[in-house]
Every structure is written in structure tokens, then in C-alpha cells.
Amino acid sequence: MSRKLPLGKGEAARTGCARALLRSGVVEKTGEILTPVVLAERVGWCADLVAGMVDAVPSGHWDATAVDTLAAGVDAGGRRLPSQAWMALRRLGWGAAPVGGVKVNDRIVRMAQEQAGRVLRSARWRAEVVSGILVTWPVDPDRRTPTEWEQVRAAIPGGEDLPSGVIRSRTRQIAAYARKNGRLPVDVFELEPSPGTARILLLAACDGQQATIERSQGGRRVLLRLQLPVRPDPRGYADWTWVACPLALPPTVPAHAVLHLPTLRPSAGKVHADLAYTHPVPKAEKSGHIVALGVDWGLNTLLSAGSARLHPDGRITALGTGAQFRAAGVLARQHRLRRTSEQLHAKLGHYARLADPSLDGKAQILAEEARRVSQRRSNLNDALARAAARWTVDQAVAAGATVIYLEDLRSLEAGGMGRTRNTRLSQTVRGQIARWTRHLAAETGIAVVTVPPRDTSRHCPHCLTPLRHRKAPDRPTAPGWKWALCPRPDCGWQGDRDQGAWRRIAARGLAHRTKTVTDRTTGRMVIRTVVDRLEASAVITATPKTRRPDRSKTGPTRPRTHHPVPRRRGIPSSTRPSGRVGKRPEGHVPTDRPRLPRAAHRHQDVITTGSPTARRHRPRGASLGAGFHLHAHASPPRWTPPEPDLTVRAGRSAGQRR
């Protein structure tokens, strides 16, 4: 299958990933059907062979010279290194070979070299961050001054856009090393050991001699063919055989998408496949936007979003009152899992300090529980990020927006709101939400642009006057941060702090739409600085209020007659007497409910009494069939045809038979 994707005018290529599960396999030579357990075992044997070859490469080249050479992209002869990691390692002579007399083909070695090359390339960024922190080591590692923050960001390549949480975590790591060894580390290679190896198979580094993938004509099935060993230590090529594994594609994969070889991950008797695919999408534009969606971050109210329109005369108006994505329950659960994880790690540290062999069993149980809690936290964060991103993109699509303006809070450092609130605010999944928002917005050609966060919650969206923040609208004198009021008498805007923030973000993005640039390293669209001249026009023009008819009182309220009989009865009604009809019969509806719904919403049999005549009082609810508690008979449910009433005489009219 060709991996090239033909693109038309105004289209761009988008690469996504779909998760699948290998449920069975067929050995092509013998026709043997492999169960999921046997298939996972054979994929695990192959992954162990690859992992054994990967471990030798990073550990042998875990130093600054080797990593810089690989990251520079130029070999000793001055030639440019290939972009594929396995080809770059072969050019440098950093080979990998199986041990113990195991026989593998060259494609298995490719997968090992590709994985090792990716590990070494990723170490370059960590080395730059640690080196910048060591060069500008602060006087007090726990509290940097503003000048020290500027110095450390200037010493790190791209440090202006680096989140402050990354710098703080690396600083704590270096401080812990200094307390233990009495000195600072030289670089990250002394600070950290060589990373471990994951049990995966990167089939993307192979060709048709190791794995192939073919899509069925219907488009919903895929056949993956790959070579797997028949024993954990294959001694020759005869111990390798072709296995065909059918895959069912999820409905999110387009029918015209180009499929790529997946990455296989054996775990717990199953084989998970991360299937990459590429398909054309509308190209997102940097400028020329008319309708935009502004998104503001929060804590319990995770996202506040609303749309704004730029008119030809330069006015910016808000389209509606906006919406909110509330995740207080999910974030509270995340906070509880974090505290549980901290307690488990504290117990593990205590057992390690005791160094008692009798506690090894308990330590293993705690370690396994800590791993499960961490996995639950990771899954919860991922699900929350996907849901929030999907909600954001849906809001943009519904409003007809062509751009989403996100507040750039990568350098946010929570403080001043208490220990618990600061921790919860620092551990929100803003980065994951932004990443998933860009990924999902690319499907519809919507651009995602980050804007500077300065004064988005401080100034009025209508007049740019500094706001006064209070605790609640009904407590205008209580200090707080939730409710905002504009002090200008001619403006008088007030509202939720987050609702005003998304207006400011949308207006700032539309006013600075010509200042949008694309980052060369990440490919993300961003507005880096705020121009005062453009910021003066980034205001939301207040829309005139619609006049409504006057509903004020012009006279006394009409008195209402109370029902002479109580609506509810504390005890079940008596049985139907044998004499004249007139008392309420015994029914099938319980009497402990505060209010009974209409009979159309209850499953009860038809119980009839004498219908009232026109000369007698007609009880309220008789025509609705609300039950015996309103002195009326129960009518049949509306979703079934009415049954004939044998107790009604034939001489009555149709209106009296209801």
C-alpha cells in the first residue's frame, strides 16, 4: 500500500492514531489458529528480543558527546544524518546485535535501533534544560527571584515558552542530588541513569519483508501480516513464521485514509496495536478570521468558552452568553487519587529507610497498588482531556468559528490560594487539553492559536477598565475573586470572572489576528506579544437590550380557591363500596410520593368510576387521567389504544365517556 497521500488545493495532511486489539492470528504455513494468549506470547518473545538489543545502545552512549553528535544531524565526515533514527545510528556505527546465539533478521535489528535512536534524541532536550538550570543555579532553590527566573529562561533554548513547572521539578531533582552527594551534578547524564526500554514493536521501521498491512474492500477490516518467532530463543530462520492477524478498524478512521504499520504493545495476555493513519483535512488559516471562539481556563469550572464576531467596521460583539465545561467531580476524584498516591509513596519510602527484610512482601504490595493508582490517574487525566477538547471543538463548530483562541498558561505558577488549591491548580491537564484540541480541530480546518494571558481576567471586556472582584453578586462588599464588577458608571458590566475572561481572549485574538505566527519547531500557531494600539480596539461592543412588554402588576392578584380535600392521603384508600359510586376506589399507585405524574407516565391498570355529569362539579385532572387522588378515573397510557369501558352506559355522550 502506498504511504503517499494526494492532497488537493486548500488541504493538509493530518495523522491520527487508532487503537485496536489483536484478537487472533493464523499461521500461514500450517493454517494453525493462534488464540489471543498464544499470539500475545509470541509477540512478547519478539518484543523481548528487541528490548535486549535496545538496552545496549543507550547505556553505551549515555554521555553528552554522543547525544550532541546525534542531535546535530551531522556525522564525523560532515555528511547530514538521515531523519530515520535507525539509519542515523548505522551511519555513526552504533550497531545493535542479538546475544546468546539468537538468530534474527535485519528488520528486527532495525526496530531495536529505531527505538534506541529515539531515546537518545529525546535526551537532548533534557540535557539543555538541566544545563541551563545548573549554569544559573539560584541562591535559594525553593524560591527564585524575578531576576533569576529571567536568567534561567534565557539560558535554556526556548525557555521563554517553557512551563515554569518543568523548571521547578528539575530544580527539585538537582537539589535532591546535591543533598545526597554534597555537590551539584555535571549534567543530566550524571543526574539520571540511562532510561529503561519499553516492550514494544515499532513496525514502522520495517518494510514488507517483516510486516505488511492491507485494507479490505469494505474499508472496516485490516489484515496485518508479520513474522513472529515460534520459540523465545530462535536459533535460525526456520524458527520464524508469517502470521496473519485480522483487525477491525474503529469508525473514527476515514474510509479514504492511508494506513501505516502499527506499533504493537503486548501486555497482560493481550496485544494492543496503535494504528497510525493519514487523511486529508481542510487547511487551517492563520489570519482572516471573522468568528472566533475564546477559551479561558479555570479550576472547578475547567473551561469557559464563548464566540465573538468581528464586523467590517471593526466592532467586536459577543455571540451569546457563552458556556462552561464543569469538571468539579472529576477533579475532586483526581485530587483524592493524588493524595492516595502520596501516602503510598510515603509508606514505601519509610519501608526503604527501615531496611527490614520482613517488610519486603508489604513493600511489593504497596508498590503494585501505587502503580495501579498512578495508572488510574493517567487514565482519568486522558479521558478528561479528550472530553474537554471534544467539547471545545464542538462549541466552535456550532458557532461557525474558524479559529479557537486559547489562553497561554504554560508558565502559570499557582500561588496565594492555599496549599491544596495551589496543588490542584498546578496539576490540571491544560497541556493535554490544548494538545487534543489542536488534534481534533484539525479535522474541520479550525485553527488553534494561543494568546498572551496578561490581564485577561483583570480588565473589563467592554471598556478595559480594571475590574473589582468580589465573592458573589449578592455580596458586593465581600472580598473574593469569582465575581467581577466594572467601576465605571457608564459601563457597569458585571459577571462571572471566567465569562469576562473568554470575551477578552476572543477580542484580543481577533484584534491581533495579523500578528499570528507559526512556531517552526512545534508547528503551532501563536500570538507572542500584545500591541497596545491593537489592544485598544480589543473590546466587546455591548449589544442593545431587547425591549420586552411590561409585565408589572396593574391590580390585585386573583385569589385561588384551595382544594377542599387534601391532595395526599397518609393511608391507603378504602375498598370500593357496593352501593352508589362516588367514593375514591383503591388504586395501584403508591401514596408515599410527593407528587404523582400523569397516568400516561405510569404503568397502572384502568380503574373506572362513575364519570361526573355536567351538572355536578367536574374535578380537576379528570380529563388528564391523573389517578384516583384527584377524584377521577385513570385513563390508559397514551402509547396504547384505549380499552373499551364496559361500566359506561351506551346512552352517554362521547364527551362524558372521557
**265 and 306 co-located in one domain:** no
**Which tens digit of pLDDT belongs to each residue from 269-325?**
889 999 999 988 888 888 889 999 999 987 667 889 999 999 998 899 999 888 888
**Which tens digit of pLDDT belongs to each residue from 101-150?**
788 888 898 999 999 889 888 888 889 999 999 999 988 888 888 888 88
> Residue 404: its pLDDT value, please?
94
Residue pointed to by grid coordinates 476515514: 254
**268 and 132 co-located in one domain:** yes
| Helix ranges restricted to H, 182-242 | 188-191
Domain housing 466 = 282-331+378-535
Let me know if residue 567 belongs to a domain: no
- Cα separations in angstroms, 438 against 212, 288, 456: 31, 19, 22
> Residue 620: its pLDDT value, please?
47
Let me know if residue 569 belongs to a domain: no
- Cα separations in angstroms, 500 against 170, 450, 483, 520: 35, 18, 10, 32
**Which tens digit of pLDDT belongs to each residue from 626-642?**
443 433 333 444 444 54
**648 and 593 co-located in one domain:** yes
**524 and 589 co-located in one domain:** no
Question: Cα angle vertex 619, ends 615, 621, to 5°?
Answer: 135
Let me know if residue 179 belongs to a domain: no
Does the pLDDT value for residue 553 go beyond 80?
no
**Which tens digit of pLDDT belongs to each residue from 477-487?**
777 778 888 88
> Residue 291: its pLDDT value, please?
93
> Residue 308: its pLDDT value, please?
92
End-to-end CA distance of the chain: 71
Q: How many domains does the chain have?
A: 3
**Which tens digit of pLDDT belongs to each residue from 602-615?**
444 444 444 444 55
Share of the chain above pLDDT 70, in %: 80
Let me know if residue 295 belongs to a domain: yes
3-17, 395-409, 588-602: segment of lowest average pLDDT: 588-602
**212 and 286 co-located in one domain:** no
Contacts of 567 (CB under 8 A, 6+ apart): 629, 630
**214 and 102 co-located in one domain:** yes
**105 and 214 co-located in one domain:** yes
Does the pLDDT value for residue 244 go beyond 90?
yes
The larger pLDDT score, comparing residue 572 to residue 350, is at 350
**277 and 312 co-located in one domain:** no
Find the mean pLDDT for residues 412-422: 52
Let me know if residue 147 belongs to a domain: no
* Cβ-based burial of 123 (10 A; exposed 0-12, middle 13-18, buried ≥19): buried
Please state, in angstroms and rounded to a whole number, the distance separating the CA atoms of residues 366 and 343. 10
**414 and 296 co-located in one domain:** yes
**508 and 644 co-located in one domain:** no
Let me know if residue 362 belongs to a domain: no
Does the pLDDT value for residue 241 go beyond 90?
yes
> Residue 412: its pLDDT value, please?
54
- Mean pLDDT, the chain, as a whole number? 80
Please state, in angstroms and rounded to a whole number, the distance separating the CA atoms of residues 392 and 645. 56
Please state, in angstroms and rounded to a whole number, the distance separating the CA atoms of residues 394 and 302. 16
* Cβ-based burial of 443 (10 A; exposed 0-12, middle 13-18, buried ≥19): middle
CATH number, domain of 466, equals: 3.30.420.10
Contacts of 242 (CB under 8 A, 6+ apart): 27, 28, 29, 225, 226, 227
Let me know if residue 558 belongs to a domain: no
Let me know if residue 159 belongs to a domain: no
**193 and 94 co-located in one domain:** yes
- DSSP H or E stretch at residue 301: strand 301-310
**129 and 238 co-located in one domain:** yes
Residue ending a domain, among 239, 261, 281, is 281
Q: Residue 574 — pLDDT band, cuts 50, 70, 90?
A: low
Do 221 and 246 touch, CB atoms closer than 8 A? yes
